[in-house]
């Protein structure tokens, strides 16, 4: 059941039309790990500074997340990001980025981490992602996330990394940017031709899509009356997706389709409050109830259509 997550742990400052939070736990590895912890055992590899205190560590401890490989540089400061969302919550406006200790991050994996069954390579420099991948050669399934920064500045390195993973998780704009193809289906086919067995495309308020060599599966976003803060929703989706897969014996397409639903369920909780606040206090009953609602929402009865031809005689 073990799942290894490598990425960033950060402090975020976020303002939306509905409120403001000046300091909250953030970073790709944080959102991912907390989400995945509801389904499986998670080990976290990241780096923080001396300002990362007991309150933040308790969030990981409460969820049973193994932080043995969480590096701390006492004299340094934790990665910080400040951003704003306007009424189009699909677009984040970055106001300030302070990489701090994350600027020199070199993931250090323990022997236990190298034996993880599943591996998630969070949004970090592609060369580092590839180095981590090489240290976990026996992982049954490896997933990769990225962002427009790496697509624009390290495209060649990123493609090399994509070639050695099983699943790529990306949003629709990034898929188009990565391939220079405006049509999402054609873009997906090109990415799959590089090696991954599956491609997951996050589409924000429009849901998500799963592409494999032979099939296509799409789901809507869970309908919400209030979306408060979308920060970390994509990583929370990935956490639900990979966490559920880690709890399954068979890592086939059927399991991936169910994992897509759980990923969307977890992301729907994430956006209801700032940062990790909503997700970190979830209960299994809340998750399963929303999963069942999602199933009912997307279910339809199969009745073949046959046109009745009325004779003119």
* pLDDT string in tens for the chain (313-residue length): 599 999 999 999 999 998 899 999 999 999 999 999 999 999 999 999 999 999 999 999 999 999 999 999 999 999 999 999 988 887 888 999 999 999 999 999 999 999 999 999 998 999 999 999 999 999 999 999 998 888 989 999 999 999 999 999 999 999 999 999 999 999 999 999 999 999 999 988 889 999 999 999 999 999 888 788 999 999 999 999 999 999 999 999 999 999 999 999 999 999 999 999 999 999 999 999 999 999 898 888 878 877 766 665 5
Cα(99)–Cα(56) distance, rounded to whole angstroms?
18
Handedness of CA 177, 178, 179, 185 (dihedral sign): negative
Identify the residue whose tokens are 């190298």: 114
pLDDT of the residue at 1 = 52
The encoded tokens of residue 220 equal 């809507």
Cα separation, 43 vs 252, in Å, equals 23
- Domain range summary for the chain, segments of one domain joined by +: 3-298
When computed from its CA atoms, the radius of gyration of the chain, rounded to whole angstroms, is 20
- Counting beta carbons within 10 angstroms of the beta carbon of residue 78, is it exposed (0 to 12), middle (13 to 18) or buried (19 or more)? buried
Range 3-298 classified under CATH 3.40.1190.20: yes
Which single residue is written with the structure tokens 């494999």?
212
CA dist 88 → 9, 16, 19, 91, 177 (Å): 26, 10, 15, 6, 20
């Amino acid at each position: 059941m073990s799942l290894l997550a490598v990425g960033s742990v950060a402090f975020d400052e976020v303002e939306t039309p509905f409120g403001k939070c000046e300091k909250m736990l953030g970073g790709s590895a944080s959102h991912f790990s907390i989400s995945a912890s509801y389904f499986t055992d998670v080990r976290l590899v990241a780096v923080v500074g001396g300002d990362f205190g007991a309150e933040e560590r308790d969030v990981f401890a409460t969820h049973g997340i193994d932080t043995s490989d969480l590096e701390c540089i006492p004299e340094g400061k934790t990665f910080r990001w400040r951003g704003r969302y306007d009424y189009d919550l699909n677009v984040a406006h970055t106001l300030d980025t302070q990489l701090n200790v994350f600027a020199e991050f070199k993931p250090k994996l323990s022997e236990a981490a190298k034996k993880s069954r599943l591996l998630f390579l969070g949004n970090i420099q592609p060369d580092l992602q590839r180095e981590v991948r090489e240290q976990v050669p026996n992982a049954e399934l490896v997933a990769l996330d990225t962002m427009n920064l790496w697509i624009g500045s390290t495209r060649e390195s990123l493609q090399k990394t994509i070639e050695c993973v099983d699943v790529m998780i990306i949003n629709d704009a990034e898929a188009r940017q990565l391939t220079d193809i405006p049509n999402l289906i054609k873009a997906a086919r090109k990415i799959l031709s590089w090696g991954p067995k599956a491609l997951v495309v996050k589409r924000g308020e429009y849901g998500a899509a799963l592409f494999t060599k032979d099939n296509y599966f799409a789901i809507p976003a869970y309908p919400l009356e209030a979306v408060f803060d979308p920060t970390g929703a994509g990583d929370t989706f990935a956490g639900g997706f990979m966490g559920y897969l880690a709890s399954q014996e068979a890592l086939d397409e059927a399991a991936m389709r169910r994992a897509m639903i759980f990923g969307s369920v977890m992301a729907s909780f994430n956006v209801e409050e700032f940062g990790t606040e909503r997700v970190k206090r979830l209960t299994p009953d809340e998750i399963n109830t929303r999963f069942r609602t999602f199933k009912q929402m997307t279910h339809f009865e199969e009745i073949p259509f046959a046109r009745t031809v009325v004779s003119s005689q």
